Amino acid sequence: MVTGKEVYTSNELRKKYLNFFLDKGHKVITSASLFPENDPSVLFTTAGMHPLVPYLLGEKHPFGERLVDYQKCIRTGDIDEVGDATHLTYFEMLGNWSLGDYFKKESISMSYEFLTSVLKIPIDKIAVTVFAGDDQVAKDIEAYEIWRSLGLKEEQIYFYGKKENWWGPAGQTGPCGPDTEIFYDTGKEKCCEDCGPSCGCGKFIEIWNNVFMEYNKLPDRSYIYLKQKNVDTGMGLERILAVINEKESVYETDVLKPIISKIESITGSPYNVENEREYRIICDHMRAITFILGDSKAIVPSNSEQGYILRRLIRRTIRMFKKLGIMENKLTDITDTVIELNEAVYPELTDNKSFIREQLRKEYALFNKTLDSGLKIAEKYINQLSEGETLSGVAAFKLYDTFGFPIEFTREIAKEKGFEVDLDGFYHSFSEHQEKSRTGAEGRFKGGLADNSQQTTKLHTATHLLNGALRKVLGDSIYQKGSNINAERLRFDFSFDRKLTPDELDEVSAIVNEAIQKGIEIQCEEKTVQEAKEQGAIGVFDNKYSDIVKVYTIEGYSKEICGGPHAVNTGELKQFKIVKEESSSAGVRRIKAVIG
């Protein structure tokens, strides 16, 4: 692989990356939460662009037009692939952005310079892909010519369609555009005549993606040009570490190898080809679990949305330990290792260590009671099947309902025995809870803050008024636990340990409507985090904020740190109405409301 070069640690690579782009006029921003704010189209932050959506759509960023960072990310679409050499549930994304400043030539040139001059990757080890064009958007000849001018041969450049070389939007609508992906050529022989970066044979490893965001996808699936052209790049920390350090898999890098070593000490067996899959799944999942539980949003295992994914990861990990013969709860032992490895970069893990450990103990105790019994019943169901048959949806639902087996969990058990599960039958049996599954959760809304529509912008402003009103009625101990907006309504989660009375709900609504009737101009100022604190701005004051933040003020009603966008005047909201108040989870209440 890459020869004659120094070995990099993850900390050294982060530093080199940030310093390179600092020298190119970028400003460093801090990693945001794993849970996107006000975007109902995704459950987790899947890329560095999520926290920047308002700025990609034209909002002014406090740090200017050139930004760089490393961002915590969770992607759930590849959970079934975890165990191979490169796929991870939790990973870090190194990213740099141009918000209406430089575009394709500068972006590609900087990426090429970093890879070849800083990381010393030989040019003949690089392969790239470029958008081939379709009936909506033209072929990206400009990116092709830039790569050629930098010295890449024609045979190192591949053209692909939207499936491979188009990024976004993150949800159903929003910023998107063609991309050019950068791959490392391992030197392996081509598997066939058509072998290229899109092939999954392992010859090419994707290491960087440069997205040229010049379009906005609308609800009718058409594209219009954005007001500003943006560049969004993303490079997986773990993958590039493996490449430059000549490692065969990401699990041999310094961010993952110590976790593998910890698993070895727990099982008493060395990591080898026979237990490779189980060790890697435990390693990956425990890292993801620790970061999810360690986030300031305090998500807990549940049967819906992010809590469902968290529960699925925990329960799959428990099963992997059982397969390895470990019958005790060793989850907290692993999470302690994850925290030790990452606390210098992500101090929130240490801050929330007791919460992480408590939730793992609870979930283990809850699931361990039924796991063995459930596995016996599952085996009984599967042993009754003949070749070519599928496990019925009714049986899969019984395993979920009685033993807490997520449907993906049951599918994995069946697959190991060579059988499939009747998913349609499962969802039919479980139709009243379908929304609680990952499949039901993904894509169930058609919009979100990411579409930047007038209505979602107004609803975003309404959440600020609602937050302020709740604090006036219930006290300053109230704080936001999450929000979810689509074009029809807002949903706001907040800390409170009981149901609100009708009088309290009426009072909250009255305060919000009072602010709307007054027609207050909404003010936006840029301040330091310290200034924002001193002036009483509401925010989760952890390391998610940059040194300079935006503070939105609705005089007399709300002052919050927020990226925007917002209505110009509260009068635009016309009228506010609470349609439902309910429990979200222990100690958290949820309000759904509409405006207009």
Annotated binding residues, written as ranges, equal 460, 464, 562, 566
Using DSSP, state whether 457 is helix, strand or coil: helix
What residues form the annotated binding site for Zn(2+)? Answer: 460, 464, 562, 566
Phi-psi region of 442 (alpha: psi -120 to 50; beta: other; left: phi over 0): beta
293 contacts: CB under 8 Å, gap ≥ 6: 299, 300, 310, 335, 352, 355, 356, 359, 360
Residue 391: Cβ-neighbour burial (10 angstroms; 0-12, 13-18, 19+): buried
Type of residue numbered 56: L
Planar angle of CA 315, 437, 288, nearest 5 degrees: 45
For 68, phi then psi, to 5°, come to -150, 145
| Amino acid identity, position 225 | Y
Radius of gyration of the chain (CA): 25
Non-local (6+) Cβ contacts of 596 within 8 A are: 455, 458, 573, 574, 575
Show Cβ contacts of residue 393 under 8 Å, excluding neighbours closer than 6 positions. 421, 422, 423, 424, 425, 426, 427, 428, 429
Q: Where are the alpha helices (DSSP H) in 95-203?
A: 104-113, 141-149, 162-165
Q: Which strands, in side-by-side order, build the sheet including 558-561?
A: 523-528, 548-554, 558-561
- Tokens representing 141 are 């000849």
Q: What is the DSSP letter of 153?
A: -
The amino acid sitting at 532 is A
Q: Please state, in angstroms and rounded to a whole number, the distance separating the CA atoms of residues 377 and 371.
A: 10
The amino acid that residue 193 corresponds to is E
Pair 43, 63: CB distance under 8 Å? no
Specify whether the CB–CB gap between 344 and 269 falls below 8 A: no
Q: What is the torsional sign of CA 525, 50, 347, 64?
A: negative
Q: At what angle do helices 353-383 and 305-323 cross, to 10 degrees?
A: 70
